[in-house]
Amino acid sequence: MNKKAEELKKEILRLTREYSTLLHQPNLPASKQQLPFVPGETTIPYAGRVFDADEVEAAVGSTLDFWLTLGKEGAAFEKELASFLGVKYSLLVNSGSSANLVALAALTTHKLPTHKRLQPGDEVITVAAGFPTTVAPIIQLGAVPVFLDNHPSTGNIDVALLEEAFSPGKTKVVMMAHALGNPFDLGTVLAFCRRHDLWLIEDNCDALGSTYSLPCEQAAALGITENSPGIPSNGKCITRYTGTWGDLSTQSFYPPHHLTMGEGGAVNIISRSPLKAYAESFRDWGRDCWCASGKDNTCNKRFEWQLGELPKGYDHKYIYSHLGFNLKPLDPQAAIGRQQLKKLPFFIEARKKNWEYLRVGLADLENFFEFSQPTHTTAWNKETGFTWDGSGCKTDCSWFGFMLRVKSSAPFSHTDLARHLDQKKIGNRMFFGGNLVRQPAFVQLKRDRPSAFRVVGQLSGADEIMSKALFLGTYPGLTRAMLDYEIGVIRSFCVPS
């Protein structure tokens, strides 16, 4: 770049920061916001982008370079995310939904041993209530989802029916999400997967920064001996981030999530290096070549391969070993993500504090609500916090949302409450798709192909979540004034003056 161009870029980026500072005040973290909050007039979203001039400058700077397609920023982000989590590799894709598709597709490769390869008609154990794109790839790839129930208090899988769901020779994978940032019972699920030699895919889209602790003896039996980076050891438990316990995991960087690129996601390869090549192939058109975009002949034998029925020496850049997709994000998105990643520890702590503030503020409304609890807890007290079960396992949640369930004895329904909150400009959401087997797409699928999915048990917990639960936001843009307003509105709705 010549000197004049460098000077122009520097000035453009200076003005970009000035522009962002003037325009994007509402998107700052709560502690930096200066705009007045007007109760009943200012909308409180359930989630939103939290950023400052750093992200805007990074996006503009990358766009000025005009590489655009995934390049140096993407490569840097992948390394930085993998380093933060403590996984072997992270692979950027264009959404969390694509991440789930790519992660599962990687397990369909013919390069895996037959007994480990997911093939049409094989089964994938999952959970009934959640977001549909955790489950959709199972069906899209020709496999059969096996739905287990949710535990209403955690939103996660009820592990009691895992063994009943297992079908020897058919079950190949367990794939499900950590609900709203609350880790599922990884100790039980991992032991089940090891016992039956199953793959585990953690949908970590709502849980970036959550941790799970497993007693050292149990962790060692599963071959897990080290904490995630930056997490100190207490000598009693192995503590790792969610998304680092299974074989593969997925992230979403859509605006409501823990960090954002606008759109975007990632597949994390925990420890098995070959899975990166398989996932990358499915992400990148199904090609066999692993050269980065803009690079040629990384293998030093570009014209020496003979694969399939192609002539020997056919250009390796145009050899396809899978029926793949093109699911890459753009490099400017990765540039934004790199700045967001620097703020991630702060974002995680803000989410925890906001959840706790709502829990304390609504504590005396237990006649009306059942409150969500972290996995492995049995009770909560305002003074002493959580009481833990006897498993020795613990969770620390980087909450995506604050879920509560309206009791059957309450004089209102969760829809009544949601409607009231909406009228008061307080963002809220149901628990995504609720019980997915009740959704129109799955009802029709069952009519068209009765064997398309299997249900184990009655799914009463998933139904309870669907009919009684909603959640509020916990994202870092929520100010104390906003949280106080939310608490006040809910209290006055439950106990009118």
pLDDT score of 183: 98
**Beta partners for 429?**
471
The pLDDT tens digits for 261-280 are 999 999 999 999 999 999 99
pTM: 0.97
Distance, CA of 365 to CA of 405 (rounded, Å): 11
CB 245 within 8 A of CB 190: yes
Res. 108: pLDDT tops 90 = yes
Q: Is 257 part of the annotated catalytic residue set?
A: yes
Distance of CA 320 to the CA centre of its chain: 30
User: Which of these is catalytic: 257, 316, 322, 414?
Assistant: 257
The reply to whether CATH 3.40.50.2300 applies to domain 72-318 is: no
The pLDDT tens digits for 150-169 are 999 999 999 999 999 999 99
For the chain, give every residue range classified as CATH 3.90.1150.10.
Answer: 344-494
Distance, CA of 34 to CA of 25 (rounded, Å): 7
Distance, CA of 174 to CA of 194 (rounded, Å): 11
For the chain, give every residue range classified as CATH 3.40.640.10.
Answer: 72-318
Q: Which of 126-135, 238-247, 296-305, 383-392 has the lowest mean pLDDT?
A: 296-305
Return the CATH architecture of domain 344-494. Alpha-Beta Complex (3.90)
Q: How many CB atoms lie within 10 A of CB 308?
A: 10
As given in the structure block, the two tokens for residue 390 are 């006897």
Mean pLDDT of 184-210: 98
Res. 291: pLDDT tops 90 = no
pLDDT score of 322: 97
Distance, CA of 387 to CA of 378 (rounded, Å): 6
Got the DSSP string for 436-455?
GGGSHHHHHHHHH-TTS-EE
As a whole number, the mean pLDDT across the chain is 97
Distance of CA 304 to the CA centre of its chain: 41
Distance of CA 307 to the CA centre of its chain: 36
Mean pLDDT of 400-425: 98
pLDDT score of 292: 80
pLDDT score of 293: 75
The pLDDT tens digits for 455-482 are 999 999 999 999 999 999 999 999 999 9
pLDDT score of 298: 85
